[in-house]
A and B are shown apart, each in its own frame.
Chain A
Amino acid sequence: MATETETTSGPGPVDGGPDGPVASLRTYVEGPNTVGQSRPFWAGFVVAVLALAAYPAIVGGYQASRFSLFMVYAFLGLSLSLVWGYAGILSFGQVVFFGVAGYTFGVVAVNFATPAGITAAFFAGIVGGALMAAVLGYFMFYGGVRDVYVTIITLVSTLVLHTFMAQTAGDEWTVGKAALGGFNGMPTIPNLAFGVEGAAVRFGSVSFYYLVLVLLVGTYLGLRALVNSDYGRVMVAVREDEDRTRMFGYDVERVKLVVFTVGGALAGLSGVLYAAWGNYVSPQVFELAFASLPVIWASVGGRKTLLGAAAATIGIEFFRNSLGGEWALVAVGVLLLVFVLGLPGGIVPWVHDRYLGFRTDAGGPAPPESAENPEVTDS
């Protein structure tokens, strides 16, 4: 975790520059719990977003549509970064919320295939993912389940849903017009659309790409604001020492439940976009191989950095998709081993510390005041 001197407790200029709206905005999205507090970082961020915006014009609609799936997965990576990296809850169940949201979106959208119905399906899917996380989280956290047992329960939940959804092939598993389809899954899910008939925006391949890009940038910035807020600091405190945090008067169980539910909503958003992207969802989303991927994305990128989780998700999925076949999965497994053993913090924190950690421009973290005081390290 980066160190930072608390200079302000509210909005205000952060870099000694003019007190403009950008500087004011930066106070909300910068803090000790995220990497990237400097002007060069934000300049690079803007360049990256512009490059992503230009990508469809360069590579064409097909490649852009393919790439939008990787960005869809980034919400899933961010959800695990939030619950694991920031609140210390190692969940193997993010795909549960992803899949439940995908199926919920599919069932509602197939039954109400109008723009208004699909809009409702979008939100129903996200709420479905969040609700599933809230119920599971409530019983775990208020039931006193901690640490590795949370991981086991979430993993088992994934496998239970895989088994359950795989046996929904019969006619009795039809909800209105939507057949769950058992192992073959649910096809013919409509494309995403917002609005009402006559005033609707429908998202095809390229427009879907831009929708996902806007949502991803907005989600990333929103999560940065969350983890650097007072609440975010409590989340990190819970991750570091639950008992100590409880003895400061914080309701640790409630904090974990809230974070887990927000993570469920994020995974749900990913699942909804996934189902709308491929017009299809199947029990494969609950398979162990898929359930492991978010852990790999977050580990390789750096679970304690939102940027690391999002960037690694997109990078690894691009690589995996380009390589294709079983070998891609083997390569990703090797990647996980290499990072767990060699760079347990992940790429982004390493790059930040190695190349940007000592950047002391006006917006960057200040060096420790007493770094030269020999007594400080005399422990």
Chain B
Amino acid sequence: MSPDTATGDPSVRHTPAVEATGEITDTLLETRGLRKEFGGFTAVDDVNFSIEAGELRCLIGPNGAGKSTLLKLITGTYRPTSGKIYYDGRDITAVDPHERVQRGISMKFQVPSVYGDLTVRENVRLPVQRFAGGDERRRRVDDAIAAAGLSGYEAVEASALSHGQQQQLEIGMAASLEPDLLLLDEPVAGLDVAEREAIAERVTRLNGTEDIAFVVIEHDTEFVAEIADEVTVLHNGEVFREGSIEEIESDADVQRIYLGGDT
């Protein structure tokens, strides 16, 4: 018995969208006028944001800028006050979070969120068992463990892993769903240089060889510079700037609000 095995097979999910004009676009995710209020506080304010298939986008901004809220709106954890979210050409604003995952959106939480009492193998088995059984399941689990650099740790309880290994494990679990879009919330927070390099290499590889699009929230500007195609700066819940890392780093206004430079 396996819940939801009928849906969410990751094989061939994303197809290029056809806009009303008949023009074929490769937009994977798009938000239009997205707004989220908590009481009187507006966390996300009229955000228009889009991701192309296979793109790697970093989302930066000061604390309280609305980055994590935007990610939770994309995953469906929060429902927007107003605005729409389109994924793969379809309106998913009212779609439940687990169905969004089945459609190809996956996420790694800010705090490593692995099942501490389960072994590494049991952890990876959970996402995989939803759509794969038998030898296929075993192969996918083995591949995910190897890709996370955790071969030899299969029978170790996840709580015994280091912080960096837990981050790798969680990225491996999220990637084992073979998503089209992977959302990472601060994947290198609290990691040392070597661990950060390993995560950067992993993200770049997943993006390059498996064509997974990424939205990465990160404060570590070196990490952002290393991996990002494009950077979006959020400030006070609004999109403040978008551009390449060079453009963002040299933008005086961005330095003023985020990087702490003089203006």
Would you call B161 and A249 a contact (CB within 8 A)? no
Would you call B119 and A4 a contact (CB within 8 A)? yes
Q: A6-B121, A230-B1, A368-B119 are in contact. Are A248 and B177 (CB under 8 A)?
A: yes
Q: A3-B122, A231-B3, A368-B156 are in contact. List 11 more A-B contacts (CB 8 A).
A: A1-B117, A1-B118, A9-B135, A10-B134, A233-B125, A244-B114, A367-B155, A369-B154, A369-B156, A376-B160, A379-B165
**Which residue on chain A has the smallest CB distance to residue B106?**
A247
Q: A9-B137, A369-B156, A376-B153 are in contact. Are A229 and B1 (CB under 8 A)?
A: yes
Task: List residues 117-172 of chain B with CB under 8 A from any CB of chain A.
Answer: 117-119, 121-122, 125-127, 129-130, 133-135, 137-138, 141, 152-157, 160-163, 165
Please give the number of chain A residues whose Cβ is less than 8 angstroms from any Cβ of chain B in the complex.
41
Q: A243-B113, A248-B126, A252-B98 are in contact. Are A376 and B156 (CB under 8 A)?
A: yes
CB distance from A353 to the nearest CB of B (A): 13
Task: List residues 207-236 of chain A with CB under 8 A from any CB of chain B.
Answer: 226, 229-231, 233-234
Interface residue? B15 (CB, 8 A): no
Would you call B121 and A249 a contact (CB within 8 A)? no
Interface residue? A188 (CB, 8 A): no
Inter-chain contacts of B1 with A (CB < 8 A): 226, 229-231
Could you mark each residue 239-274 of chain A with 1 if its beta carbon is under 8 Å from any beta carbon of chain B, else 0? 011011111111110110000000000000000000
Which residues in B have some Cβ–Cβ distance to A below 8 Å?
A: 1-4, 8, 75, 77, 96-99, 101-102, 106-107, 109, 113-119, 121-122, 125-127, 129-130, 133-135, 137-138, 141, 152-157, 160-163, 165, 173-174, 177
Would you call A249 and B155 a contact (CB within 8 A)? no
Inter-chain contacts of A226 with B (CB < 8 A): 1
Looking at chain A's contact residues, the main secondary structure is loop
What are 23 inter-chain pairs, A to B, with CB distance below 8 A? A4-B122, A5-B121, A5-B154, A6-B141, A9-B133, A9-B134, A9-B135, A9-B137, A9-B138, A231-B3, A234-B126, A240-B118, A243-B113, A244-B109, A247-B106, A247-B109, A248-B173, A251-B98, A368-B119, A368-B156, A370-B152, A370-B156, A378-B162
Taken together as a complex, chains A and B put the C-alpha atoms of A371 and B153 apart, in Å, by 9
Would you call B161 and A254 a contact (CB within 8 A)? no
Interface residue? A13 (CB, 8 A): no
Which of A10, A230, A237, A378 has a CB less than 8 Å from the CB of B115? A237
Inter-chain contacts of A367 with B (CB < 8 A): 155
Would you call B96 and A251 a contact (CB within 8 A)? yes
Would you call B3 and A251 a contact (CB within 8 A)? yes
Of B106, B113, B126, the most chain A CB neighbours within 10 A belong to B126
